[in-house]
Amino acid sequence: MDKLAIIGGRELYGELAISGAKNSALKVMVAALLTADTLTLENVPDLADVRQLIQLLTHLGVEVEREGSTLSLTTGDISSTEAPYDIVRKMRASFNVLGPILAREGKARVSLPGGCAIGARPVDLHLKALEAMGAQIELDEGYVIATTPNGLRGAEITFPFVSVGATEHSMMAAALAVGETVLMNAAKEPEIIDLADCLIAMGARIEGAGTETIRIKGVASLHGATHQVVADRIEMGSYAMAVGAAGGELLLKNGRRALLGEADVILEQAGLTLSDEEGGLRVTKWGRPTVGTNVETAPFPGFPTDLQAQYMALMSLADGTSVICEKIFENRFMHVPELMRLGADIHIDGQCATVKGKKVLKGAPVMATDLRASMSLIVAGLAAEGQTMVSRLYHLDRGFERLDEKLQSVGALVERVKDED
């Protein structure tokens, strides 16, 4: 098992390429199940989660070819309508194969999902949406067994709260349903727009993606297409916060402010300078103190829950006190004890953490507890005095492509080492 060794105190300078968005790539890959033609996806990151989904899609009958960052997926026939526990348990996003299989084959048996241990993320909204479209669903020994005796049909679906996964799942199923489906209180994330753009390129009829009301008029079939995956806003925000912690200036290639939503304003209030320019987003932090700034996570365009841990690392080095409230997931402060090992002063009270900034953090051995928590420890380690050793890098490998190489290219002293334990 690998670890990441970091010697802090080096400013970051240069250009760093932002990969395609993991959270978008996984969903547009699943969309390949909706057509017998080839779906070609460009800018697909090489991540553990992507490789895991390829394993599941191959099991279902998808022929997958990869050349660099381009994936070609062809589902001439769905050879299996079952997504087994051994594969689905490893990654939550794989549950979204249920709707496309059901839309195309009329039946599906899919294991309930696994994923990061950051609190309950039930799939009931996914299932209720499919039931509204005419699916009959049973739960049996950890599996969802779904059938459509009369096919999927358009429906009006109002989500009781904003759910990215349920919005994406419903969009894919509705693309092949008979009639019009209206999704209300839909998620607005850039990944929703990216999936809609991919489906539209495949022949789907979708309006309103990126707003709270999405309309999908079902079509009889979809065709092949080529689609480029949007840049990863979470990777972009994470590297911006690394600049905030360590200092310096980076051009985040392929990035742009709009993908950050309201997080760009928060980062500027905290002391960074962000500017769109040809080729990407420039992030600068010179000679200005980091300012303690309060944050509350919220659905897009609000501050992303997937940047909360990294922002807490940045606030650990701020002048003053900040309050960070997590309103999306429970149990998402598992990184706090590890940041405290580096010297951070953090007090948790329910859904909120009070962070008293310190001038200096000290390197120490720390352990990643989930994907985004691993990045928070790296942000802190880049600024800490001495060596920080981050273990359990398999979390990091799920969502950040070639992180050690990218950081090395902009001056960070980081090295991936083998765990001798």
Residue 163 is encoded by which pair of tokens? 């759910």
* CB-neighbour burial class of residue 322 (10 A; exposed 0-12, middle 13-18, buried 19+): buried
Specify binding-site residues for phosphoenolpyruvate. 22-23
Question: What amino acid occupies position 281?
Answer: L
Residue 349 is encoded by which pair of tokens? 């009270």
- Residues forming a β-bridge with 7: 387, 413
Q: How far apart are CA 399 and CA 418, in angstroms?
A: 20
Per the rule left: phi > 0, alpha: psi between -120 and 50, beta: everything else, 287 is left
Specify binding-site residues for UDP-N-acetyl-alpha-D-glucosamine. 92, 121-125, 306, 328
- Residues forming a β-bridge with 110: 83, 144
Sorted by sequence, the CB contacts under 8 Å of residue 17 that are 6+ apart come out as 253, 254, 406
Q: How far apart are CA 414 and CA 236, in angstroms?
A: 19
Residue 167 is encoded by which pair of tokens? 């919005």
Q: Output the CA–CA distances (angstroms, integers) from residue 399 to 117, 282, 395, in the order listed.
A: 15, 22, 8
Q: Output the CA–CA distances (angstroms, integers) from residue 416 to 96, 288, 375, 396, 403, in the order listed.
A: 33, 31, 14, 12, 10
Q: What is the end-to-end Cα distance of the chain in Å, rounded?
A: 9
Cα 148 vs. chain centroid, distance in angstroms? 31
Which phi and psi angles does 240 have, rounded to 5°?
-60, -40
Specify binding-site residues. 22-23, 92, 121-125, 306, 328
Residue 229 is encoded by which pair of tokens? 């995956």
Which phi and psi angles does 156 have, rounded to 5°?
-95, 125
Question: What amino acid occupies position 12?
Answer: L
Sorted by sequence, the CB contacts under 8 Å of residue 40 that are 6+ apart come out as 70, 71, 72, 73, 224, 225, 226, 227
The catalytic residues are 116
